[in-house]
A and B are shown apart, each in its own frame.
Chain A
C-alpha cells in the first residue's frame, strides 16, 4: 500500500541545535515534495518545495533534501528557536494532477 510516514513522536530539541525531521514514503514516485508548518488552531503554511531532480533546497535556516532512491526527504532547521515549535508536514504529489497527499506530521518542540 502507499504510505507517507513521518515520526509520530514529538521531537524535542534545545534552542540553537539543528532539528532534523524525516519523511519516508513507499510505493510513490513523486516529482515534487513539499514541506508545511502547522501551528495549533491554524492551517498549514507552505515552507519549501523540492523537485525530484534536486538533491537539496535551502531557505534561510531551512534545508530540505530529497533522495528518490531511499524514498526519503529530510527537513532541517538550523539554529532552532522556540518560535520554530510547531507540527511539520511533508506532502507529495501522488501521480494525479491536483492531488497533494500529506504525511502524518511531526511535532517539534524547541526548548530554552
Chain B
C-alpha cells in the first residue's frame, strides 16, 4: 500500500544513453513533482504537474522530459545522459498546487549513476 512509488530504485547507465523513471501515487492527489537531490543532499524542484498539466519547469535542460499520462502517474525521461545527471531523483505528490500549505508525500527515490 505504498503511497508514492518509484521505479527503478537504482539505475546505472553510460553517458549518452536515454533512460526513464516511473512514478505512481495512490493518494488521489492532484499535483505531482520531480525533485533532484545532489551529492550534497540539496533537494531542488525540477517539475510540477497538476492534473496532467505542467505548472513548473524549473530551468531544467530539455533533455529532461516529464510525462503525466494521468494524474496518478508522472514519469521522467532523460535523453543523452551526462555525468552531471548523477543524483537521486524523488517523485512527490500533494493534494493541491498550493504546496506551501499542503505537505508533500515523497517516494523513496531513484539513485541514478551515469558512468
Within 8 A of A (CB), among B30-50: 31, 33, 35, 40-45, 48, 50
Q: Is B107 within 8 A of A43, CB to CB?
A: yes
Pick the contact of B42: A46, A92, A104 (CB < 8 A): A104
User: Which one of A42, A44, A46, A49 has the greatest number of beta carbons of chain B within 10 Å?
Assistant: A44
Number of interface residues of B (CB under 8 A): 29
Q: Is B101 within 8 A of A97, CB to CB?
A: no
| A interface residues (Cβ-Cβ under 8 A, vs B) | 30-32, 34, 36, 41-46, 49, 51, 87, 89, 91-93, 96-102, 104-105
| B interface residues (Cβ-Cβ under 8 A, vs A) | 4, 31, 33, 35, 40-45, 48, 50, 55-56, 58, 90, 92, 97-101, 103-109
